[in-house]
Amino acid sequence: MRLPHPELHRTDRIGWLRAAVLGANDGIVSTASLVVGVAAANTGSNDILVAGVAGLVAGAMSMAAGEYVSVSSQADTEKADIERERAELSADPVHEHAELAAIYEKRGLDPTLASQVADQLMKHDALGAHARDELGISDTLSARPVQAAFASAGTFAIGAAMPLLTAVLTPQRALIPVVVATSILFLALLGGFGAYAGGAPWFKAAVRVTFWGALAMAITAGVGAVFGAAV
């Protein structure tokens, strides 16, 4: 018997990949914007370095806390829905069977087959079937707060270190154009890598990430220049 060819799907990466790309993108954009904005205000190199390091640490902690809180809220909602579904299955299994069968009918099965499928799945794992097909909750896509927090914090720190290291190694007179240019390159690489890891076209993602990152840095540099001139 010939085995079916293996299929490579990447939906199991959605949770950590989203958090990782978000963290790295924010790390590059926020730190590069901070460095460029402070440099545009005609401050000294020590002030630029202190601002960059503070931005890295504060940003990584903020990303970790924010991801943990937001994804925990999602996880709490999922758990509440599952418990509600558990109670409904216990109180009225006949109605829940009909509800599940109706879902399969909408997906294209005839009523008899839909009822048989619902019956088989409920005998195997009634709660799992309803969580997956009625609520859209599965083990693959369920919320994982700790994973999201660590992924965001770690990738934020890595992303932030890139423009910060560039600023340390670049003479102050050339700091703004060099940090902007290298950060745009980092963003393009990040967008392409994130798309590749998720199995999506890389060019469109690279352009999207680069455009919005460059816009953020331009606005921050403008604000820094205005306030620097005013002070």
Q: What are 180-189's pLDDT values in tens digits?
A: 889 889 888 8
Residue 136 counted as domain residue: yes
Residue 63 counted as domain residue: yes
Residue 6 counted as domain residue: no
Chain-wide mean pLDDT for the chain?
A: 81
Q: What are 66-123's pLDDT values in tens digits?
A: 888 888 888 888 889 889 989 998 999 899 999 889 999 998 888 899 999 899 988 9
Total domains in the chain come to 1
**Cα distances (Å, whole numbers) of residue 148 to 132, 133, 155, 156, 175:** 22, 25, 11, 12, 33
Kindly tell me if the per-residue pLDDT of 150 is higher than 70: yes
Q: What is the pTM of this model?
A: 0.69
Residue 50 counted as domain residue: yes
**142 CB burial (10 A radius; 0-12, 13-18, 19+):** middle
Residue 201 counted as domain residue: yes
* Nearest by Cα to 29 from 162, 224, 147: 162
d(CA 99, CA 215): 49
Residue 9 counted as domain residue: no
Residue 179 counted as domain residue: yes
Residue 142's pLDDT band (boundaries 50, 70, 90)?
low
In 3-state terms, the chain is what percent helix, strand and coil (to 5)?
Answer: 85, 0, 15
Residue 33 counted as domain residue: yes
Q: Which residue range is the domain that position 114 belongs to?
A: 16-230
